[in-house]
Chains A and B, each alone.
Chain A
């Protein structure tokens, strides 16, 4: 199975900050990475697919990059509604696998 190593596991930030979350795959997965946001007690929300394509309706403050094994999610101008847990996922090969999550809090 492909392992997705996400870092950091948590980070503290302030409103207006720019934050970057990274995900490293245990093998080459091309650009077959998605990013999700999840708030407590809620379903995941899709942000990014294909490493850098925005899911419909997601604001451009979210961006993704990377190819092969190293990927990043960047959030600019952090707002209160952005404080949540973020997950990466590879869908290059089954079984699909998720990173361990990054909790962004104040």
Chain B
């Protein structure tokens, strides 16, 4: 069955960087588009970024454009999110999700806390 496992979260100081990973298993990773979505404490869901099945197409929401970079390594079945210039507003649980024609499957999330 589809399994997505995020890792790389933790406590980071403002202005620093962090890279999240999402390890995929149970399906042909290279055949699916992927997304990152986050949820700040006590808040709703916020979509962040999309990457096509082969990495050729990427899209970002305005609040992370220029700071976050999505990538994937289909040989390792892994999705990445490089996050730079982190600020307190980036504190959230970060989820990766697989998409197939609007049908999403979710990972369990990893918590990122930006604090000095």
B109 A98 Cβ-Cβ under 8 A: no
Q: Does A36 contact B (CB under 8 A)?
A: yes
Q: Does B61 contact A (CB under 8 A)?
A: yes
Write out, one digit per residue, whether chain B residues 34-78 have a CB within 8 A of any chain A CB (1) or not (0).
Answer: 010100000011110010000000011110000000000000000
Among A45, A49, A97, point to the contact of B103 (Cβ < 8 A).
A49
Measured CB to CB, the nearest residue on chain B to A54 is B103
Binds B, one of A11-19, A20-28, A71-79, A86-94: A86-94
Residues in B whose Cβ lies below 8 Å from that of A91: 99, 102
Give A contacts to B, CB under 8 Å: 32-34, 36, 38, 42-46, 49-50, 53, 55-56, 87, 89, 91, 94-101
Give 19 CB contacts A-B under 8 Å: A36-B45, A36-B104, A42-B108, A43-B95, A43-B109, A44-B95, A45-B106, A46-B104, A46-B106, A49-B103, A49-B104, A89-B47, A91-B99, A95-B47, A95-B62, A96-B50, A98-B44, A98-B47, A100-B44
Q: Besides A34-B102, A34-B103, A87-B44, 14 other CB < 8 A contacts? A: A32-B102, A33-B102, A36-B104, A43-B95, A43-B106, A43-B107, A44-B95, A46-B104, A49-B102, A53-B103, A91-B99, A98-B44, A98-B45, A99-B44
